[in-house]
Structures are given as structure tokens and as C-alpha cells.
Amino acid sequence: MIITDTALRDFPALNARQGDILKLVAFAAMVVDHLNTASGLNDIQLQAVGRLAFPLFALVWGYNITRRSVTQGTLNRLWLLALLAQPGFWLTFRHTGVEWWQVNILFTFAVMGQVVRFMQESSQRTAFISLLTLCAYVPASGASYELRGLLLLMMSALFCLTTGRQQILAAAGLAMSVLLLNAPSGGVMMLSGLLLSLMCLTVTCRQVKTDGRLPVARWFAHLYGLHLTVIGGVLCLV
């Protein structure tokens, strides 16, 4: 099965610039949240802002991954960047109880990427790889939303592939998965993640009409590891 742009023709999709802006907003919110946690400040308002990061990343990921064929080479690069980011991730959050073997969020995207690759190219090899990565990921995902993160990515992709009534159902499922994502943090964080994400999405789609890419592209995975390395390094020195 090949997932292509034709699946998106019946509903308005994010253009490239809108996706880039949403990623910038999500990245800024994520960095603020990480600094808030790593510094021990634990400000509730900053935590609430940070809840919009992963839902926005997930939505942009859903649009992107359903528009093109996923290659193993692309996934291999993502696996490598996830491994490189892991030391910084542990150094940044070890004081919060995160163990060295608990993986960062890039692994979540990589695992779901393997699942989508299996959907696009069903074979014994892709089935084995996707099943193996899922089995290895689940026990180590305690610091990266566990199965809730995989569910959100799956619902994002499903939302981008459906139309009509099915899309309405997928949108409801997507909203529920965003609420579920932050359920362990309580009702305030659940609503913050959903409402702030919807607000950012609405404002971006209404205000940004041009389709040209921003100068920065394909930077998230690299900057994710870099900012964790910087924060973790500073924590080791102080």
C-alpha cells in the first residue's frame, strides 16, 4: 500500500510554510518546558505551554509522512539522531528519575515511522522490523509518553488519510488522544495541551497563506539533540 497525496485531496491540508511555523512554535514550547523541568523551576504555566509541543509535532508529522513514501534510509538517519540525542536526554532529566535506558521522543517518531513503512510496503522483513522496534520501544518509553505517544502519532496519520465522516471520527479520536497524552499530569494539563494546540493551529492556518518553505528545513531532529546536549552539559557543570 502506497500512501500518497491523493488521500488528502478532499480536505484542506497544511501547506509547507504552515507546517514549518507550527514546528517552530512546538520547538520553542518544548525548549521552554525542558528548561522549566531541568532547572527545577517547575512553573505550572510553563508546563501548560509545553503541553502543546508534541501534539503540534505529531500533526505536522502526520501530514508529512502520509504525503510521501517512507524509505528505510530516512528512518535509519532518524534512528541515528535518536541515539545521538540519548546521552543529552538522560543528562538533562536524570534528576527527575529518568533512567539511562528510557528513550527520548525521537525514538517514538522512528518506531511509528517503521510501522508506516510496513503499511506502505508489506513484507516479512518490514513486518519483522516494525514488530521488533515496537517490542523494544514499549518497555523503554516511560519518559516519552509510552503507548500514548504512539497512539497520538497513529491518530494524526489516520486523520490525514481520511475524508468526510471518517475524517470527523478521526478528528475526534485525535482530540481524545491529545487529552489522553497528558492525562497523567491532570485535567489542567490535558485541557492545556488540546486547547493551546487548537489555538496555534487555527491562528497559523488563518494568518499564513503563502506556501514557500522557511529557510530552515529538516532541522528538528538535529536541534532536539543539540539543545538537550547543551542543557545536560550545563547541568553537569553547575
pLDDT digits (tens, 9 = 90+) for 20-72: 999 999 999 999 999 999 999 999 999 999 999 999 999 999 999 988 899 99
Domain residues for the domain of 49 are 8-101+147-237
Is residue 68 situated within a structural domain? Answer: yes
Q: Give the residue, 180 or 13, on which the prediction is more confident.
A: 180
Q: pTM value?
A: 0.92
Is residue 110 situated within a structural domain? Answer: no
What pLDDT, on a 0 to 100 scale, did the predictor assign at position 219? 85
Query: Within 13 Å of residue 78, how many CA atoms lie on the same side as its CB?
Result: 19
Is residue 21 situated within a structural domain? Answer: yes
- Would you say how long the chain is, in residues? 238
Burial class (CB in 10 A: 0-12, 13-18, 19+), 10: exposed
Lowest mean pLDDT of 7-21, 44-58, 109-123, name the range: 7-21
Mean pLDDT score across all residues of the chain: 92
Is residue 231 situated within a structural domain? Answer: yes
Q: pLDDT per residue over 15-32, tens digit each?
A: 889 999 999 999 999 999
Is residue 42 situated within a structural domain? Answer: yes
Structural domains in the chain (count): 1
Is residue 119 situated within a structural domain? Answer: no
Q: Give the residue, 210 or 141, on which the prediction is more confident.
A: 141
Strand, helix or coil for residue 57: helix
Q: Do residues 60 and 200 make contact, with C-beta atoms less than 8 angstroms apart?
A: no
Is residue 123 situated within a structural domain? Answer: no
| Section 74-100 average pLDDT | 97
Is residue 134 situated within a structural domain? Answer: no
Burial class (CB in 10 A: 0-12, 13-18, 19+), 93: buried
